[in-house]
Structure 1
Amino acid sequence: MAEEKDKKQSSRRRNNRRTEKESEWQERVVQIRRVTKVVKGGKKLSFRAIVIVGNERGQVGVGVGKASDVIGAVRKGVADGKKHLVNVPLTRDQSIPHPSTGEGGAAQVLIRPAAPGTGVIAGGAVRTVLELAGVKNVLAKRLGSKSPLNNARAALEALSSLRTFQEVAQSRDIPVEQLY
């Protein structure tokens, strides 16, 4: 009987760890679209979900899921977002180290660091990406396409192209103090 209790307790601990790991990630659905495919018997209806996943500590990803029901599409989108995670270098002020641009399809996104207390000045999917990445002070401008998916991917590309001061100093073979 003691062994059974130990097994139950260890399985509970494992379940608690799983929920802790899962709760670390936040997910936000940006768009759900009803899409159709024309087949021999008529039109086949399905749903496409654009989901942004992040931990607000410098990791964020954009995922797309498609399924015959909304819940399945969102679940697939979350899984896809976790596969395409990007690490974002954050400064002490919870901003980004330098200005950056990114492109996704016909969308362009320009992001710039901002002073502490500014907040996230961005719109739509770009705002969601920046918030879930953990950036607190940033200015962003969406240029070109208004598509949420392309804008989210452009923001992700802009964030992935960011480099820390240490990386820049190392690539130039100079000390960090000399960068300023």
Structure 2
Amino acid sequence: MNIKNSNFPLREKLILVKRVSKTVKGGRVFSFTALTVVGDQNGKIGFGYKKAKEVPLAISKSIEKAKKNLFNINLYKNTIPHKVIGNHLCSKVIIIPSYNETGIISGKSMKYIFEVVGIKNISSKLYGSSNPINVVIATINALKNIKNLKLIYKKKK
């Protein structure tokens, strides 16, 4: 599905802005990194992480990268169809579906991801490192592991 043909406008969330430095012969050179998540609240999501000399430029670069890396997730009634686990470096994320009106029970970084993807009822648990970059990548890896319900039912028969 093309982004331009989508009926839902893309929603952008800024998760993290950090000042980083590089030590050179003349002293320190400062720049900024930005981590953003983009989604259409209907199962499409992407994330971007970019660096620039100024904050607005870093944010716009990361949003553009997130828009280029969009992919679809199979949702089921405002949640996910089954439990999934995602890893990245020292961060481990377990995402469990909730079928009643429980809301989003998770940490800040994961909450932003679930909001832009369109998940309204879910609970999650984070083990290991709580670094926002690792948490976002681990959550994206977990969401990529979601299987379609039709394929699950075919395998059971």
State the TM-score, normalized to the length of structure 2. Answer: 0.90
Give CA deviations for 1:105-155 in whole Å, capped at 9, x if unaligned. Answer: 211110011022111111111111111111111111111111001101111
The one-letter code sitting in structure 1 at the alignment partner of 2:133 is L
Mark the structure with the bigger radius of gyration: 1
Tell me if the contact between 1:86 and 1:156 (Cα under 8 Å) persists in the aligned partners.
no
Q: 1:153 aligns with which of 119, 127, 137?
A: 137
The structure, 1 or 2, with the larger RCO (C-alpha pairs under 8 Å, 6+ apart) is: 2
Return the structure number with greater helix share. Answer: 1
In the TM superposition, 1:54-93 aligns within 5 A as 54-91=39-76, 93=77
The residue aligned with 1:25 is: 10
Q: Which amino acid aligns with 2:38?
A: V
**1:133 is aligned to 2:117:** yes
Alignment correspondent of 1:167: 151
TM-score by length of 1: 0.79
Q: How far apart, CA to CA, are the structure 2 residues paired with 1:104 and 1:82?
A: 22
Distance change (3 Å), C-alpha of 1:173 and 1:96: closer
- State the distance in 2 between where 1:75 and 1:102 align: 27
Identify unmatched segments of 5+ residues in structure 2: none
Q: Deviation string for 1:53-111 (max 9, x for gaps)?
A: 111110111210100000110011111112222311111x2110000010122111100
Q: Which runs of 5+ in 1 are unaligned?
A: 1-17, 175-180
SS in 1 for 2:62: helix
Paired position in structure 2 for 1:9:
none
Return the offset for 1:173: 7.9
How far is 1:169 from its partner? 3.4
Q: Pairwise mapping of residues 105-116 of structure 1 onto structure 2 (< 5 A)?
A: 105-116=89-100
Question: What residue is the counterpart of 1:47 in the other structure?
Answer: 32
Paired amino acid for 1:46? S
Say which SS state the counterpart of residue 120 (structure 2) adopts.
coil
1:84 maps to a residue whose letter is N
**Matched position secondary structure for 1:142:** strand
Q: Percent identity?
A: 32
Counterpart of 1:4 in structure 2 is none
